[in-house]
Structure 1
């Protein structure tokens, strides 16, 4: 997915208030014209020959977490950039949402440390929205080995690319060499979303269950 640089800093003076079909209000902080080239172009493809290059670097303003929070007791979002966390917190306040929290850091570092703290949860739902490089192997391992995660929503901007490796590892039998010990997932639903009209590109939202 293309990274969109959103900021709540003073130098980004203009903003856009958007309302989703379900009534969720989102403030999108706009950048000055000189930075439009960064928004309109995708970042360079990472080096997929190294597992360390498959880091999740998707920029968000809390839209995914805030959308699903109404049906959840607690939502925890992980964002890589400080400004993304600030914008997500701002949007949570704008909508009066109190059961969402956002943590800053790389998912491959934060998630393995976070999941053991949620062992008392009977059932967890994970929602991931990685870059073209797919999920980092540490994230894959943490999700697969966490028994409490029974459902996984995977938002893929390039399902025919590195994401396919993730799909295989989610659904394969336990693999000691890859340290994948949990029960395999099964894909139960796939919904294409045309976010780029008049192009051949299409996002794909998949639901995995076990």
Structure 2
């Protein structure tokens, strides 16, 4: 489990592409490597990946074909910076909302607007997922827990404060950038339950 509070943006320093799988090597700072062992879960751009090995300051992850096709990890290149979050430790403060690290889809940035020090991103999302994205509701974007600022038929708006831009790779988003989306599981459960109840009454 994760909270959507990105702890660092870390550089992809090695990338091995094989049939059906890529191996990523991400350079993590010492504080994020502390106690990190093979088998641990780490969110990379919001995708829950398993640590396969740790060598000096590099942490390795294998990414399977389905994940490569569903998320933006299939398109990253050397030198890219990835949002990193270690898995939740119980007893710690939860500053965002609970996440599983299971990305449902990708959004495409269709507009970027600078509003003083704030930045607004308009995102386009596949229609099937829009019923779960609600005004003032939670959504995880590249692993970052954010509040939906406005909802449209085909997408939604994010209002990013300077601190979010400083701490995450959302500052690099431009028109056409693809971002990983994990919808709020509680919202999905409520919407699906209501739909089933209404369908049963018809």
Higher relative contact order structure (alpha carbons within 8 Å, sequence separation ≥ 6): 2
* TM norm structure 1: 0.28
Question: Greater helix percent: which structure?
Answer: 1
* TM norm structure 2: 0.28
